[in-house]
Amino acid sequence: MAKVDIENIRAELLRGTSEVIDEKKILDLIEYFYEYGVRFIVKIGMDPTAPDLHLGHTVVLQKLAFLQKHGAHVQFLIGDFTAQIGDPTGKSETRKKMDRFTIMENAKTYKDQVFKILNRDFTTVLFNSQWSSTLPASSLIELASTTTVARMLERDDFAKRYASNTPISISEFLYPLLQGYDSVQLKCDIEMGGNDQKFNLLMGRQMQKIYNVGKEQALIMVPLLVGTDGVNKMSKSMNNYIGVTEGPNEMYGKVMSISDELMWNWYELLSDQSIHDITLLKRRVEVGEFHPKTAKENLALEIVTRFHGVGAAQAAKMEFDKVHVSNELPTMMQTFEVNGPIWIVKAILMCKLAKSSSEARRHIQANAVSIDQSKVTNDQLQLSSGEYVLQVGKKSFAKLKVL
């Protein structure tokens, strides 16, 4: 029997989770693995509704990678069938139906990106269309009969929509049932997901019992990662996300932009460092033995290294320090050309440093615009022929050639 520090494993398992249902079962599965070498099945499902994953998605992937080290075989389920319905969780209206081509294109990127974190040797990628697309009408009716409308309306999002007379399609009621049916097909021991997925995850336990699978999956739920704005959950719609395919310089800079308070939450949810090491680091920062900026730099280096390698991470730090510490210009900037002269507001728009003329004017009025590192105060300025480096705020640069 292999020696295993189950208490330490338990502490790391519970770290950064919002709720665990049937913890004892999970620990028993881990101990059984160490004693007999038998791996257990952990399911994670993701609908390919967007082409790229962001750091918020990696919170659950990090936990899966941890479990793989202790006996888990991950069934990474791409919801190509359920994506056509759209997960109603947290939605105030019925989602628009996605076309099959977009779903499959997104799914390809998911397969590439998850293996930046998960171990390929202990991961199986599956698509739920394998069984759901061939489900006969009789089986679908049987599936729908396993729960009630009243049960569905216990969901907060459905209850709010029903109370406000906002339409709820029958297909949306089917979504959690189909997600639960996935657990029947996969016969998983554990399912993981965000804490907003609790209703759907519990449905998997219920379906496994109804369909006599011989087990009821344990559940591990993780909190939704707060985005770079420090307020809202990370999402592309909020523009507060860091995509896993973003370049190392942009990724490093975005991590460095978060608040010191949020940094510790990100350490807990995203770092591979142990709870003990993170706690010790936080204490050292609190008593002044370690600067919080250095702690944030270490976190940024760890995250960029995960997706781009050590060399790219070190280069990103050097570039960041060059621009934000030494106040030098970036090594690489997008270059634009225009026949001159050109009005400064139009130049800012052309260089994609503002979305509108009014926004460009506001930047100038806020003293946030520089040309060749000198502040611009005149919003009527005309740029004649020559080369200029335009800067808006601390992060946005572009080179403009006026011909």
Spatial contact of 233 and 226, defined as CB atoms under 8 Å apart: yes
Is the pLDDT at 157 greater than 90? The verdict is no
List all residues 6 or more positions away from 229 whose beta carbon is below 8 Å from its beta carbon. Answer: 238, 240
pLDDT in tens, 232-269: 999 877 889 999 999 999 999 999 999 999 999 999 99
Does 205 share its domain with 60?
Answer: yes
Does 305 share its domain with 345?
Answer: no
Does 75 share its domain with 209?
Answer: yes
**Looking at the 3D structure of the chain, how many domains does it have?**
3
Its pTM stands at 0.79
- φ and ψ at residue 80, rounded to 5 degrees: -70, -25
| Average pLDDT estimate for 350-368 | 90
* Residue 135 covered by a domain: yes
Does 61 share its domain with 30?
Answer: yes
* Residue 254 covered by a domain: yes
Does 89 share its domain with 139?
Answer: yes
Mean pLDDT score of the chain, rounded to an integer?
90
Distance between CA 152 and CA 179 in Å, rounded? 14
Give residue 255's domain range: 248-324
Does 305 share its domain with 346?
Answer: no
Does 343 share its domain with 320?
Answer: no
Asked which of 108-112, 188-192, 273-277, 366-370 is least confident by mean pLDDT, the reply is 108-112
Sign of CA dihedral 80, 85, 86, 89: negative
Does 75 share its domain with 206?
Answer: yes
pLDDT in tens, 299-317: 999 999 999 999 999 999 9
Instruction: Single out the residue of 342, 355, 354 nearest to residue 391, CA to CA.
Output: 354
Give the burial string for 288-301 (b: 16+ CB within 10 Å, else e): eebebeebbbbbbb
**DSSP-derived secondary structure for 185-228:** HHT-SEEEEEGGGHHHHHHHHHHHHHTT-S---EEEEEPPPB-T
Does 373 share its domain with 252?
Answer: no
CATH code, domain carrying 137: 3.40.50.620
Q: Which amino acid is at 231?
A: V
Does 67 share its domain with 204?
Answer: yes
- pLDDT score of 80: 85
115 token code pair: 């293996």
Is the pLDDT at 7 greater than 70? The verdict is yes
Is the pLDDT at 87 greater than 70? The verdict is no
Instruction: Single out the residue of 18, 64, 21, 73 nearest to residue 218, CA to CA.
Output: 21
Does 305 share its domain with 196?
Answer: no
* Residue 64 covered by a domain: yes
Does 86 share its domain with 124?
Answer: yes
